[in-house]
Amino acid sequence: MNDGQAWLNYRKVSEVSFRKYLTGVYFTDEDDVIRSGLKELIFAIGKMYTVTLPTDCGAADSGIHLRITDRAVLGQEGYHIHAEDHAFVIEGNTSRGILYGIFQLLRRLQAEAVADEINEQKVPDQPLRMLNHWDNMDGSIERGYSGQSFFFQDNEVIVNERTADYARLVASIGINGVVINNVNVKHAATYLITPRYLGQLRKMQQIYASYGIKLFLSLNFAAPIELGGLSTADPLSGEVKTWWQDKLEEVFRELPGFGGFLIKADSEGRPGPFTYGRTHADGANMLAELVEPYGALIIWRCFVYNCQQDWRDRVTDRARAGYDHFKPLDGTFRGNVILQIKNGPMDFQVREPVSPLFGGLTATNQILEVQIAQEYTGQQRHVCYLVPMFKEILGFHTSCAEQNDTVADIVSGKTFGQVNCGMAAVANTGNDPNWTGHDLAAANFYGFGRLSFDTKLSAEEIASEWISLTFGNDPEVKAAVLWILMNSWKVYEHYTSPLGIGWMVNPNHHYGPNVDGYEYDRWGTYHRADHRGIGVDRSSKGTGYSTQYREPHASRFESIETCPEELLLFFHYVEYTYRLSNGKTLIQHIYDTHFEGVEEVDEMVHLWQSLEGKVEPASFENVKSRLSHQQQHSREWRDIVNAYFFRKSGIADELNRPIF
């Protein structure tokens, strides 16, 4: 892991049936993407089979064939890999399809698949599969836990060998779009759309394009003021539109094939159309009209809420804000605008309901935003494999249609026939040698890409695949790491946040237990605990958030008796003596799960220690150190949370365990 290859550090394989195809690689079409695929194939075969593959831009009866075809079923990015007579064929309608087919073949070979049994055809489930990086021009990363930025340093754009290494990793899991700068666009980042940086960005874009990846930038909505010297950024102003038209013509002239812009507006102090009495549709559509001739997109984040809330106000509810702002605008956005919607209504907590905008919007392009950076789930110091969470989100039935009504259906375009849609993740990479700080955190990076490409894969299938590629196929290693990964999300939930309440962290940096850290602040993130109970009433008798869902969800969330218990405290204020379905009182559930979570971390530590000598020493020590920290920190979480609720409720633990 620490050599920078991550899951592309190909190991020798014992299943050698593929050797009969290693006479050469043959192709009749060639471009930069094909050349990237060839380079990967030759490198991987050399490491797996100790063979140097010859290449030939021509035809042959045997060997490996890269074939551009014309099969409608494969679309623009699909592939078909299969044995054919004496040859092994990787085909696609485009070079991108062939590139993805090459990486899938290499995954299968690393898993010791029998060559002649490989016959797979796949078209990506999500049209846009994107990483959002929150990197700043000074080299820091907002919510970054893996070192510094490898895009920027000292207000300069970096293009070097790591740029290509990153593109290779990203392409290997099917990512086709990358936003390189923070959505909070400030200072030097505002100037990324000026000649000062466009030359370096063009070099970066060329590398990405050779791996089938579109470059995107986050954009400062107030750029006409900050760059152009105008007195306004009103999207309906003629002079503002003219300024943007000239600026964007310059950008696309220097960056042909540029993907477009991600915009955070009217959110957490960022400028936006509200300043001028305009709607978000006004702001997004003005820019979308100007980038449309270039085939580009405007991706508009729905993370808009009042961040100056009074904690005494029990009516205003941050959870309602996204739906309240954007549901009335449904159908008013241009076709090249995509609304980017966080998976839940708050902010990447360990447990939230699915945003009601999914299923609420029926005439607007949508992209699901998740976070693999673990801001609230252990910050890559705790292992927390998030693909099981993503699977639950994608599988949520919104009831917006009689069929194809899941979140996965909506963001794939199946439900409403949209083509500009997909999935995005806030990225978890940095310039640490292993990319993600914690070696096991790379499973989230890998897992998001694979899931966005093939949404039908299970979390366990993805984890098993990543383990094989990263650690090899030793059964003991695979079983231990799989147990750690597959249990880690719920383990983290056990010793941190009970039943969907969230936010019990230290303010600003969001790491470590602080039950009242956000309880009396302006951010709208409350748990409302008192001596009788805990939770926020979001029923129709409270904030009304539950009514934003379609039936039957609105009714399910409305009642304490029918609300899913994992979300109970998100939707309801519940007394400590209330009995859950397992017969335990709420307070006893809080105590028990926090003790259980620590015991489960102890089991993780034990399992990992049993792998000494079976895992590369550097990786073994990396994970051992991180798990040791998690073990200690889980105890801190357990003791602080349990002590808090014991002191609030005055109710003792039935098992008489130490609570302080």
CA distance 144 to 146: 6
**6-122 topology per CATH:** Chitobiase; domain 2 (3.30.379)
* pLDDT value at residue 61: 84
Tokens encoding 308: 């100056």
Cβ–Cβ < 8 Å for 7, 442: yes
pLDDT digits (tens, 9 = 90+) for 342-356: 999 999 999 999 999
Q: Cα–Cα distance between 61 and 102 in angstroms, integer?
A: 19
Q: Helix 475-495 and helix 387-394: axis angle, to 10°?
A: 70
The pLDDT-based confidence of 219 (bands split at 50, 70, 90) is very high
pLDDT of 148 reads 98
Q: Distance from first CA to last CA of the chain, Å, rounded?
A: 41
> Residues with catalytic annotation?
268, 347, 375
Task: Please choose, from the candidates 277, 268, 288, 396, the residue with its C-alpha nearest in 3D space to the C-alpha of residue 338.
Answer: 288
The three-point CA angle 549-550-555 to 5° equals: 80
For domain 495-536+573-649, give the CATH number. 3.90.1330.10
Q: Identify residue 182 by its one-letter amino acid code.
A: N
Task: Label residue 56 by pLDDT band (50, 70, 90).
Answer: confident
Percent of the chain with pLDDT over 90: 97
**Are residues 387 and 446 in contact, defined by beta-carbon separation less than 8 angstroms?**
no
User: What φ, ψ does residue 271 adopt, rounded to 5°?
Assistant: -70, 160
pLDDT at 2 over 60: no
Q: What is the DSSP letter of 157?
A: E
pLDDT at position 28: 87
Length in residues, the chain = 660
Give residue 522's pLDDT band: very low, low, confident or very high (50, 70, 90).
Answer: very high
Report the percent of the chain where pLDDT is more than 70.
100
Among candidates 318, 312, 225, which has minimal Cα distance to 275?
225
- How high is the pLDDT of residue 584? 98
Which residues in 200-227 are b (16+ Cβ under 10 Å) and which e? Answer: ebeebbbbbbbbbbbbbbbbbbbbbbbe
**Residues 228, 243: contact at Cβ < 8 Å?**
yes
Report domain extents, the chain.
Answer: 6-122, 130-457, 495-536+573-649
Band of pLDDT at residue 1, cut at 50, 70 and 90: low
Q: What is the C-alpha to C-alpha distance for residues 450 and 456, in angstroms, rounded to an integer?
A: 10
616-632 confidence digits (pLDDT tens)? 999 999 999 999 999 99
Asked if residues 462 and 447 have their Cβ atoms less than 8 Å apart, the reply is: yes
Report the alpha-carbon distance of residue 203 to residue 175 in Å, rounded.
19
How far apart CA 164 and CA 204 sit, in angstroms, is 9
At residue 4, the pLDDT reads 78
Residue 130 CB neighbour total at 10 angstroms = 28
Rounded to whole angstroms, the Cα distance separating 177 from 205 reads: 11
Q: What is the pLDDT of residues 84-125, one digit of tens each?
A: 989 999 999 999 999 999 999 999 999 999 999 999 999 999
* 128 beta partners: 422
Please say if the pLDDT value at position 538 is more than 80.
yes
Global pTM value: 0.97
Mean pLDDT calculated for residue range 285-312? 97
CB contact set of 364 (below 8 Å; sequence gap of 6+) = 326, 329, 330, 331, 333, 337, 339
- Mean pLDDT, range 630-641, rounded to an integer: 98
Please report the pLDDT score of residue 58 as a whole number.
74
Bridge partners of 338, per DSSP, are 299
Confidence of residue 239 (pLDDT cuts 50, 70, 90): very high
For 130-457, which CATH class? alpha beta
Q: Tens digit of pLDDT for each residue in 360-391?
A: 999 999 999 999 999 999 999 999 999 999 99
Over residues 392-400, the mean pLDDT reads: 98
pLDDT digits (tens, 9 = 90+) for 64-85: 999 999 999 999 999 999 999 8
Give which of 489, 486, 500, 484 is closest to 590, Cα–Cα: 500
Pairing mode of beta strands 87-92, 297-301: unpaired
pLDDT confidence tier of residue 535, bands split at 50, 70 and 90: very high
Is residue 538 a contact partner of residue 319, using CB atoms and an 8 Å limit? Answer: yes
Average pLDDT over every residue of 528-542: 98
Q: Angle 387-394/442-453 helices, nearest 10 degrees?
A: 30
Mean pLDDT of the chain: 97
For residue 8, which of 147, 133, 164, 216 has the smallest C-alpha distance? 164
pLDDT at 60: 81
Q: Residue 217's Cα: distance from chain center in Å?
A: 17
